[in-house]
Structure 1
Amino acid sequence: MRASQIPVAIAVNDVDNSTATEVKGMMLPVTRVRMTARGASDTVAEFRAWAESLPEMMRAMPIVLDAAHHTACSSLLEVAREHGLSVLGVADGKLAPTASAAGLAVLSEEMLMAGRAGGARRPAPEPEAAPAPAEAVPAPEHPPATGGSAARVVHAQVRSGQQVYADGADLVVLGTVSPGAEVIADGHIHIYGSLRGRAIAGARGDTRARIFCRRFEPELVACAGVYDVAEKLRPELRGKAVQVWLDGEDLQFAAID
């Protein structure tokens, strides 16, 4: 599964001018879901298994479908409806021939790649930082949100297009979470490199779950279903060691010194 962004157009009523509408462009974060099965029925089964594995809070995220085999989009949409998923369209390829009949847009690879790059105004990513020593980020102030379950430890960088999920446990990433990557945990998330992608703690609703990272440059952070995107985050925290937690219905952010 790959995180991506696609440009969309919004029509806005403008009562002060004679022109009825105004069209503006924006970047919308979506998740690209690619099925690798080599048969239509296996592709549907693969998509169903992925949908069933999603934490509840992830089901509202918009997705773009992609597949390695010709498959009827109507069959995939039926699965999406069963699980409350929002399908925006399909990647140009094996699903394109039946997309129109299913009412789905076909998105070219250029659009998806441009979205992942964030458009021409977004600076190129900096070189990946080396993993920081474990003592760079302190232990959480609260007891483990997972009831003592062993944490899942990722020793390598989480690259663009990858998703790592710690089911019923905390997640520890010793490297960097790249742009377009997602790390998800039912408990806390500890990132000892840079967070440049998405981090989702408390995926099954644990309000005690926190996010800790050594270098804070995220696309999105969420705790127990409450999220903020990069554009809304305090600029003075960017590049610093930060912890994120939920206080009532609002996310809180603090530098770790």
Structure 2
Amino acid sequence: METSDACDLRFGQVGIACVRVRRPDAAALCDELERRVRSAPQLFSRAAVVLDLSHLLDLPDDGTVDALLEAVRSAGMLPVGLAYGTSETEALATRMGLPLIAKFRAAYEPEHGNVAPPATAEPSRPAPAASAPAQVAPAAPPGLGAQHHEGAVRSGQQVYARDRDLIVTGAIANGAEVIADGNIHIYGGLRGRAMAGAQGDEKARIYVSDFRAELVAIAGHYRVFEQIPKDLEGQSVQCWLDGEKLMIARL
């Protein structure tokens, strides 16, 4: 009698936001995350997040961590693990029945104003969770050129250029996501999300010929747009980091 495998198990590029806890106050954490979800529910509602406790002076006890995890759930996000840290963090994750996540795409920094004029959208710095499997290029050897994607990127799709720039000649729909470890060049309309410097390259830039984005990010610093400022809507723009400020200007 023939049997079939019950499932396939594969690892791939997955978008996970990081909630970096600055103080072990579950009520304050819930209030802050609820505000984020209200500001952009299409990005943050039921987003997968990692809880990062590495910036606390002392690792909280199990009860406090459990309260922090419940605060994340109450705010409408879904905690999926703890950020990798010390051996004590590993032991804590084991007791909590959670995995340790060693690497993720962005960081959460609510106390920093990482937004530059002229846009008016509220700044924040987690990366939203991807809704579909990524189209991942193989690791690039030194000197390999940019990855090209011709045609539209449809809602729910994600295109990721690992270790290189990404050039897109087509429209990026609402709910679609393009990611690159280097720069991103979009020769078309950007209505979805574009994230450059995904592995932390703060010198990466984003160039867009028709700017109508939901979100742009560089090295984890990002901004959400509920409404595009009139002086940027439909314009050719470039995005870059100036220190910890994400700058956007017309070309």
TM norm structure 1: 0.47
Report 1 or 2 for greater relative contact order, CA contacts < 8 Å, sequence distance ≥ 6.
2
Return the structure number with greater strand share: 1
TM norm structure 2: 0.48
